[in-house]
Structure 1
């Protein structure tokens, strides 16, 4: 499957496809007639890349994660550490946003209280 077909069919931005190609993660060069040919393994990896993009992983974090995906034993442990660190950061962000909501609710409460006087 060609880059333009993958981009259209799976709604993957061309920039992400080019990023993936630049990493050279495939065992075999899959260029036919000057164009990269995506197979099922590529599509599976691209699905992971899209999930990592959605989770706000940086370009470097995604590349690191994908390279670790190719490692046997240590790669899995290192990927788990990356995911755990990202999870902790997301939880901290959620708690911060919850505090902000509490402040908003407090200010709304003050206004409602003043309106009933």
Structure 2
């Protein structure tokens, strides 16, 4: 499957596919008549790359994670540490947003009370 076919069929942005090729992480990908040909294993790796991007990994972090994955031996702890760091950052962001929403709700509540008092006074 060519880069365009993989992009269209699996909705993978071309820049992600080109990045993958640039990293040299293609296992069985072969160049045929100047075009990369992707196999099922490559598509599985690309799926993981998309997941890593979706959960907030930078391109550099994705490349590091994928290189560790391909090394396999003794890299599980490093990859787990990377995932745990992203998880902690995501939870910190969630908690920050929850505090923001609570403060907004407090302001909204006060404003609604003021409006209600004004309407009652006008009656």
- Asked whether the two chains share a fold, i.e. TM above 0.5, the reply is yes
Residue number in structure 1 paired with 2:103:
103
Quote the RMSD (CA, aligned, Å): 1.1
Establish whether residue 62 from structure 1 lines up as the match of residue 62 from structure 2: yes
How far apart in 2 are the matches of 1:103 and 1:73?
48
Residue number in structure 2 paired with 1:114:
114
Partner SS state of residue 36, structure 1: strand
Residue number in structure 2 paired with 1:88:
88
Partner SS state of residue 75, structure 2: helix
Q: 8 Å contact 2:2–2:37 — kept in the other structure? A: yes
How far apart in 2 are the matches of 1:27 and 1:39?
9
Matches within 5 A, 1:1-117: 1-28=1-28, 30-117=30-117
1:53 CA drift (Å): 1.1
Stretches of structure 2 that go unaligned for 5 or more consecutive residues are 118-123
1:76 CA drift (Å): 1.2
Stretches of structure 1 that go unaligned for 5 or more consecutive residues are none
Q: TM-score, normalised by structure 2?
A: 0.91
Q: Which runs of 4+ in 1 moved over 2 A?
A: 26-29
How far apart in 2 are the matches of 1:97 and 1:74?
36
Deviations along 1:14-69, one digit per CA (max 9) or x if unpaired, are 10000000111134561111110000110000000011111121010000010011
Q: 8 Å contact 2:29–2:38 — kept in the other structure? A: no
